[in-house]
Every structure is written in structure tokens, then in C-alpha cells.
Amino acid sequence: MAWFDDLKTPRIKTQVSQRTSKVPEGLWVKCLKCSEILQSKVLKDCFQVCPECTYHFRMTAAERIALLTDEGSFDEYAEDLVSTDPLEFDDLKPYKSRLRSAASSTGLRDAFVAGKAKLRGLPYHLGVFEFKFMGGSMGVVVGEKVTRVFESALEDRLPAVVVSASGGARMQEGILSLMQMAKSSAMVGRMREEGIPYISVLTDPTTGGVAASFAMLGDIILAEPCALIGFAGPRVIVQTIRQSLPEGFQRSEFLIQHGFVDRIVPRRELADELRQWMWRLGRQTCRFPKGL
């Protein structure tokens, strides 16, 4: 018998293993940019921004709303709208099954939340995408909710803000999904005619039919740092044109250099930036309460 047959696993390793197995999941998060191990609570307190390298993690719709509204001021509407399956679409699994799964995991009925709110006392209409619901894809319900944000802003003569985080049009709804691009863009045109400001906030990612319609039509277009923004993804473009792409292609910093966005705003500064732009653009045309 070899001398090493009697060797046993050191006790300290066994103790560490047992201790580690009892640690609840979700307490720690690894930064995707700098690889720093962060406490989830610390990350939440930092608005999902890495305190070491300022990498911006994706946020849920609820976190966005909490960031951009006064506490208790958000009044949701059109929450009863639910996607159906008009094309009876099946791929690896039925579309209806995907909808049920997304609703169960997010607690939402679709990938967009709309409502009226206040920001530092200033009333406005806010729409926010939930990327975790089927990649924030835009079907009939999402397109309708986006349109209602603009319609409500027009009716109340208040600014509209849409925070985009989407993979684009929802393929399971085919041409009905693509129609939402024209529908929402037409409402942006009406708002512009009336002088009612619309501010578009682009986050990671904003692509496909959403980027090709209302997301790029704001009077002011703001973007978060290093957000992926574009129509087709980089891999698709490379495969199509068979050429390498510039460094940082389709990221916020690349887009601002080429005039596609107006400002890149860190998340900590976004609420104040929105408040300033809404007041600046809407003070002549919007019905703001006196004394603001």
C-alpha cells in the first residue's frame, strides 16, 4: 500500500465546505467588468452600479420606477392589458407557455409598465421596460402601453419619459408586433406638433424595432454608460458585411461621438437630469403646478 493511501482531506477544508453550503444564494454578485465580488445589498444601495468600476448592471422595471419617481407618486395605468396568441405561434415551446413563464418570474403581465408620477414634485408620464419579461420584446400590448404613455401626456399636457431596455419586436406576434413601431412613432409626431416634450432614456440593451422607432425619436435622447444601442446586433452585422467593427461599436460612447444620442448620464445623476430637461423643455407648453 502506497504511503499516500492513508492521507485524508484536511479538516479545515471540510469545515469551510460545510460553512459555505449554508450561505444563502443571492448575497454576493460578481461584477461583469472588474470581477469584484460585491454584496447584493451594497449593489442595491448603489442603484445597481459597481462601486469599484462604475459598471452599470441592468435594473428591473420596479427599480427604475423607484429611482425616477417621488416615493408613492407612481400611479400605474393600463395594467390590465394581457398579451394573447393571435398567430398561435409555436417554436421550441408554445408562445402562451412563454408568456405564463415570464409573468410568473417577473410578477408582471407584460414587458412594459406605464403610469403617471412625480419627480421632485414635477408631474409627468413614465414608461419603463422590463427586460426580464421575454427580453423586453415589444408585442401588441407593449406597443399599446407605449402609445398610451404618449396619449396621456398629450391629454394632460405633461412631459413623457420612456426608459427602453429591449431586444426589439416580439417575433411571436409577427407583423402585429412590427405595426407597433409605426403606431408609437406616429404618437411621437403628434407630441412634437403640440410641443409636449418626450425624453427617451436608452439603457442596456436597446435594439431592434424599439431602437428603430420611438426610442430614437426623443426631443432629448439620454443614454446610460456603455449601453448596447442599435438595430441589429454586432455579430449579425459582422456576419452580414464580413468586416470587423470599430472598438466600442454600438455602445453609448460610440453613439454620442457620431451624434446619435445627446448625453450619456450616469445612473446616480439620471433623476436630476430628467427633472431639469422636463422643466426646461416643458415650462412654456406643459401644465405644471404653480410654484414649481
Q: 149-199: per-residue pLDDT in tens?
A: 999 999 999 999 999 999 999 999 999 999 999 999 999 999 999 999 999
Asked whether the predicted pLDDT for residue 27 surpasses 50, the reply is yes
Q: 210-251: per-residue pLDDT in tens?
A: 999 999 999 999 999 999 999 998 888 999 999 999 999 999
Confidence of residue 24 (pLDDT cuts 50, 70, 90): low
Region 82-104 average pLDDT: 95
**Global pTM value:** 0.90
Contact, 114 vs 148, CB < 8 A?
Answer: yes
In the chain, the amino acid numbered 268 is R
Give the number of C-alpha atoms closer than 13 A to the C-alpha of residue 101, restricted to the C-beta side: 9
Confidence of residue 292 (pLDDT cuts 50, 70, 90): confident
Residue whose C-alpha cell reads 405564463 in the numeric block: 100
Strands 112-119 and 75-77: antiparallel
Phi, psi of 84 (to 5 degrees): -110, -165
- Alpha carbon distance 284, 213 (integer Å): 27
Query: From the CB of residue 27, how many other CB atoms can be counted at a distance below 10 Å?
Result: 9
